[in-house]
Amino acid sequence: MKYLELSQIRVDYGEGLVVDDLNLGVDQGEMMVLLGESGCGKSTTLRVVAGLVRPVTGSVIIAGEDISTFPPWRREIGFVFQHHALFPHLTVEQNVEYGLDRRSLDRSVRRARVQDVLELVGMSEFAHRKPAALSGGQAQRVALARALAPSPRVLLLDEPFSSLDIHLAERLREEVTRIIRSVGVTSILVTHNQVEALVMADRIAVMQSGRIVEQATAEGLYRSPTTAFAAHFLGRSNVIYGRIEKTQSQTSRSLFIGGGFRVPLRRAVGSIPSRCAIAVKPEDIAIQTTGSTAVWTVKAEVVRVLFVGADHELLIRVVDDESENTALLRIRVHGRVDIPPMGETIAIWWPEDAMSLVAIDDPPSDSQLAGLS
């Protein structure tokens, strides 16, 4: 039994299901990240937890208590919004104090609590300012303090850094992660930013059109995704569509064929799907040099070279006369190494553990077949 459980949540705003039969469990003290493109229903899911949106079906359970019928103000849930949503007519201090119950807490207790949380987020000296006089980052800190002040059972963060500039967002997400972990509050963060998800999450749930496609630890999801969507969304894996054939050769038990590749697989593949795909991260694809230990290689032509700072990003097309659907792959080469120029033919390979076998539910589109998705 998880601390927070969502089961069979369906939400319909009147134009079809936005959230479709969603199930999610979060352990106590865990930071869960809902990752997905805009419009995939992740923010709506948060609102369901907070009681701001009423689902068509489904239940929300916290610590064994079904709170599905509770109004938002009785749920004891903290919410940090994308644009901080600090009350503009109240000072920072009054904003933070807003959620503290006047009946059960003395004025002195409330003041002390406000001081504590403002200190926690490093905003003590701004206590008497109005939100309009704060920068975006400061406002978001206050918003976090305000949400944490009443000691919520669950903290929800809806794209809290997406309205900040990139450097500030990076700094703030580390700080917020530290604060949330020090408080130990169970939390769900919604984002479309994969780096943010990887940095902040204990576990990541990838969402697509109202469903959770896959969930795992950050590293697990990045290293070995099991769906094409998650593989591409996290780390922009190259997804190559094809099929698997059994072999009895000495070097491999089966063979992946597709996109111009014939990749031997040493590990056994249980039930062999007629159609499947493999996912390989751009940084895991190696360019063959003399003396490398490649078991197999495939020839590819460099189509485009992009300099992206620490890395070079190369777009390459597999050269294969037999197959029409040759894959277009993205590879990343790190550091100051010789980068093959455009038009050059190179040989590539990757270690077997860099490759994940992923499920495909929809038939691949033409662009996916070409390796671009």
Q: Which residues bind another protein (CB under 8 A)?
A: 14, 47, 50-52, 71-79, 81, 83, 85-89, 98-99, 101, 146-147, 150, 156
The minimum distance between CB 81 and another protein, in angstroms, equals 6
Distances, alpha carbon 186 to alpha carbons 11, 182, 198, 201, 215, in Å? 23, 11, 17, 12, 17
Phi, psi dihedral angles at 179 (to 5 degrees): -65, -45
Report how far residue 233's alpha carbon sits from residue 364's, in angstroms, rounded to the nearest whole number. 16
The minimum distance between CB 209 and another protein, in angstroms, equals 24
Return the bridge partners of 287, or none.
348
Q: Encoding tokens for residue 328?
A: 């277009």
The minimum distance between CB 98 and another protein, in angstroms, equals 5
For another protein, the closer of residues 34 and 100 by Cβ is 100
* Full DSSP string of 282-345: GGG-EE--TT---S--EEEEEEEEEEETTEEEEEEEE--SS-SSPPEEEEEEESS-PPPPTT-E
For another protein, the closer of residues 152 and 282 by Cβ is 152
For another protein, the closer of residues 147 and 228 by Cβ is 147
User: What is the identity of the amino acid at 330?
Assistant: R
Residue whose C-alpha is closest to residue 257's, from 268, 265, 249: 265
3-class SS at 105? Answer: coil
The minimum distance between CB 125 and another protein, in angstroms, equals 23
Report how far residue 58's alpha carbon sits from residue 23's, in angstroms, rounded to the nearest whole number. 9
The minimum distance between CB 212 and another protein, in angstroms, equals 23
The minimum distance between CB 37 and another protein, in angstroms, equals 22
Do 150 and 79 meet the contact criterion of CB atoms below 8 Å apart? no
The minimum distance between CB 144 and another protein, in angstroms, equals 12
For another protein, the closer of residues 85 and 372 by Cβ is 85
